[in-house]
Amino acid sequence: MFGDNILPSLVLALGGALAVGTLVALIKPPTNPKDGSLVKPPLKRSLVQIVIGSFASLWALVSMMS
């Protein structure tokens, strides 16, 4: 039904969302944070999430091409 590349497609989507979403949160933090939330995201954790998401997306792209 979904084809042979369903797992790489899902990993590409989730990895890309993790990397891009975290990058956007670093570039433009929320203007009005709610009570108890952080003003800006922690830098180290954000960089780790960007690296993991980018690695997953790259793995998925290479898997889909081979």
C-alpha span between 33 and 18 (Å, rounded): 21
Is the pLDDT score of 30 beyond 80? no
Specify the pTM: 0.83
Total structural domains within the chain: 1
Q: Is residue 34 part of a domain?
A: no
C-alpha span between 46 and 48 (Å, rounded): 5
Confidence of residue 2 (pLDDT cuts 50, 70, 90): low
Domain span including residue 61: 6-29+40-65
Q: Which of 23, 13, 1 is nearest to 59 (CA)?
A: 13
Q: pLDDT at position 36, please? A: 73
Is the pLDDT score of 37 beyond 60? yes
Q: Is residue 1 part of a domain?
A: no
- Across residues 58-64, what is the average pLDDT? 94
29 or 17: which leads in pLDDT: 17
Average pLDDT of the chain to the nearest whole number: 89
Q: Is residue 35 part of a domain?
A: no
Q: Is residue 56 part of a domain?
A: yes
Q: Which residues contact residue 37 at a Cβ distance below 8 angstroms, ignoring those fewer than 6 apart?
A: 30
Give CA torsion, residues 43, 45, 50, 51, to 10 deg: 110
Q: Is residue 10 part of a domain?
A: yes
